[in-house]
Amino acid sequence: MKSLKNGIGWLGWMSLTLVAAGTVTALWIVPPDGVMGDVQRLMYVHVPTAWLAMLAFFIVFLMSVLYLVQRKPRWDHVAVSAAEIGVVFTALTLALGSLWGRPTWGVWWTWDPRLTTTAIMLAMYVGYLAVRGFAEEPERRARWAAVVGIVGFVNVPIVYLSVVWWRTLHQPPSSPRSMAPEFMWTLLVNLLGFTVLFAYLMHRRVHLSQLEEQLERRGPGHIAHTAAGAL
Amino acid sequence: MGFVAAGYLLTWAVLIGYGWRIMKRIRDATRALGGDPGTLAGEDK
């Protein structure tokens, strides 16, 4: 198992290296956009965080279905891990979008369909995590969460298609045909780096979930001990 | 460049902070289970 530990460690270092390389390329190597100027460099973090938020919630959906079919705790561990990481990435997406919107649209926030549906998505998955706090019994908690994980996913395709379905301030999805090659390559490096980082965070967070389940099985004394140690 | 710098700093700060928090919770849980926080508890058994 030492090789597994080394492998996970390498995954962490590889993700940091790739994200660092992506940041250097985005900030200092690739030229600024001809229309928006330097502020367009936010795209290289905004797009990866948005993509990973959606990937995370797709994983929540998939794991929730699997849990309801097979009732294996492992699927619930993966689902809650993906939901928590997805919330972090969604919050980052909104914050980065706001920082990009202020100099380009002149506002920090507007009730644009893409922004509004993304905010609803964030609220739904914060709700998913909150629902888990309402049930003490692990099996019931996982079942309730799985239902929310499936129902909440309905909004995710709406977020993606909102820029196609409605007239919005937000630009439609970019593609290799709509972007200069140097912009596309920089975006791909960042997408790869953030995706590897996501895989690393997922692995660690699932492991934490398994440890917390072991603690929970041992009883409240052990959980209290952990909580005290965290302070 | 101020908005760009703020965006990248925020991204790095949030991701490093979140990663650090997960590691700390793993260490605390491993310790509470009686394991060695320096190892990947549960995986190396």
Predicted confidence (pLDDT) per residue in A9-63, tens digit: 889 899 999 999 999 999 999 999 888 999 999 999 999 999 999 999 999 999 9
Q: Supply the pLDDT for residue B45.
A: 42
In this structure, chain A runs to a length of: 231
* Cα distance from N-terminal residue to C-terminal residue, chain A: 31
> Global pTM?
0.89
Chains A–B, number of C-beta pairs less than 8 Å apart: 99
B27 φ/ψ angles, rounded to the nearest 5 degrees: -60, -45
Stretch A103-113: mean pLDDT, rounded? 94
Q: Supply the pLDDT for residue A110.
A: 93
- Please name the residue that has the structure tokens 């995986």: B43
The residues, ordered by sequence, that sit 6+ positions from A23 with a Cβ below 8 Å of its Cβ are: A44, A45, A190, B8, B12
| Separate counts of helices (H) and strands (E) for chain B | 1, 0
In this model, does residue A111 exceed pLDDT 70? yes
- To 10 degrees, what angle do helices A73-105 and A43-70 make? 160
Asked if residue A58 lies in contact with residue A153, where contact means CB atoms within 8 angstroms, the answer is yes
* Mean pLDDT of all residues belonging to chain A: 91
From chain B, pick out residues whose CB is under 8 angstroms from the CB of A211. Answer: 26, 29-30, 33, 41-42
Stretch A181-201: mean pLDDT, rounded? 95
Q: How far apart are CA B41 and CA B34, in angstroms?
A: 9
* Cα distance from N-terminal residue to C-terminal residue, chain B: 50
- To 10 degrees, what angle do helices A43-70 and A155-165 make? 140
> Is A23 within 8 Å of chain B by CB?
yes
Q: Identify the three-state secondary structure at position A37.
A: strand
Is the Cβ pair B32, A215 closer than 8 Å? Answer: yes
In this model, does residue B44 exceed pLDDT 70? no
